[in-house]
A = this chain, B = another copy of it.
Amino acid sequence: MERLLATYHITASPQEIEARAEALALEQSVEMPEAAITREEIRTTTLGRVHRIAARDAQTFEVTLSLAASTTGFETGQLMNMLFGNCSLQPDVQLVDVMLPPSLLAAFPGPRYGIDGIRERLDAPHRALTCTALKPQGLDVESLAALCGTFAEAGLDIIKDDHGIANQAYSPFSERVRACQRAVRAATSRTGRKSFYAPSISGPPDQLRAQLALAAEEGVEMVLAAPMLMGLPVFQQLTREIFPGPVLAHPALTGALRIAPPLFLGRLFRLFGADAVIFPNFGGRFSFSQEACHALVDAARGSWSNLRPALPVPAGGMSVERVPEMIEAYGTDCMLLIGGNLLSARSALPARSREFVTAVERASRGEHR
């Protein structure tokens, strides 16, 4: 019987930790007292087991449980349920790591394109990539398309919708996608350089299907999706079935605390098929530490079974001035996302956007500014 290993950080005293770990193993498997199990085969298979307990400090322990792979049904939602369904409600528990056996890895093929696939589509085999966001939500379709054109003209690689742009009355998805695609095409026919518009898909399954089909029809090369807003199983299934290009995952609603971000954004999003993963960079508007960001980047693109590496996309209060620092931190296998800092230039937006593109090219060649 194949087992998966799930590792948690648990706050407890040294006196309590063994009992606490055993209780967690019950909670995340049979969800009943062990004494109430009448079948011996349930005890040897389905029952979760404490695999390892290690002290981290006087009040926290690293506890690894072994769970039967069969309990996941080899499906996204149920895998999350086994890993963190009930114990998400217990504030002393954080999920920090997962090791999956071959049967589970086979059920989740991961990114279809990954770093190499995205590079190939952009004809950019080596340098770091650039990304920006159409903002703010509330702009009409014409204004968003004009912005899109400006960014494409400046040579940005990916121009994504701000993640708050959904299907609102002021910029409905279908009109927006058509207008932005037109604007990007017009600009790239002038520059001769590839630029892709990545619209944000959202809503219940029917709406998502319609949006993905329209995007494919309009020749969209990449979409933006927030897996936790639409549901992880939906993300895993829909993007793969309907849309033929890479998927950029957004961390909205993932929370910062209870599933360690390197695991959630770096590994689980990748497992569920994200080709590129946006994350809040250190030193910006979010409180992710530099250490956590490096762990996340390693998780997204490090070697993991047969899964393609996902492209890490640091974001959140970044600036053109920080480009050399960010490329020094992450190397060139990343895509830098700068939004508000470009728009703050107001009328100097085209110049500022070109400055961003140039800064990334220079830093990618190792040239200092």
Contact = CB atoms under 8 A, between A and B. Distances in A.
Interface of A: 23, 27, 29-33, 35-39, 41-42, 45-47, 68, 70-73, 75-78, 80-82, 84-92, 133, 135-139, 143, 162-164, 166-170, 202-207, 226, 229-234, 236-238, 251-259, 280, 285-288, 339-340, 343-344, 346
Given A70-B170, A75-B203, 14 more contacts: A29-B137, A30-B136, A31-B137, A31-B339, A41-B138, A46-B138, A71-B138, A73-B202, A75-B207, A84-B253, A204-B234, A204-B237, A255-B257, A256-B258
Contact of A30 (B23, B135, B206): B135
Contacts of A207: 75
A297 to B, nearest CB: 16
Nearest to A261: B89
A304 B355 CA distance: 53
Contact of A285 (B27, B203, B229, B346): B27
A233 B255 contact: no
Given A253-B85, A339-B31, A340-B31, A77 B203 contact: yes
Contacts of A91: 255-257, 287
Given A81-B253, A167-B73, A256-B259, A204 B236 contact: yes
A169 B78 CA distance: 13
B78 A203 contact: yes
Contacts of A206: 237
A205 to B, nearest CB: 4
Contacts of A231: 229-234
Contacts of A163: 31, 81, 85-86
A202 B89 CA distance: 20
11 contacts: A31-B136, A31-B162, A73-B166, A75-B204, A78-B168, A78-B202, A85-B226, A85-B229, A88-B255, A92-B287, A204-B238
B89 A204 contact: no
Contacts of A230: 77, 231, 233-234
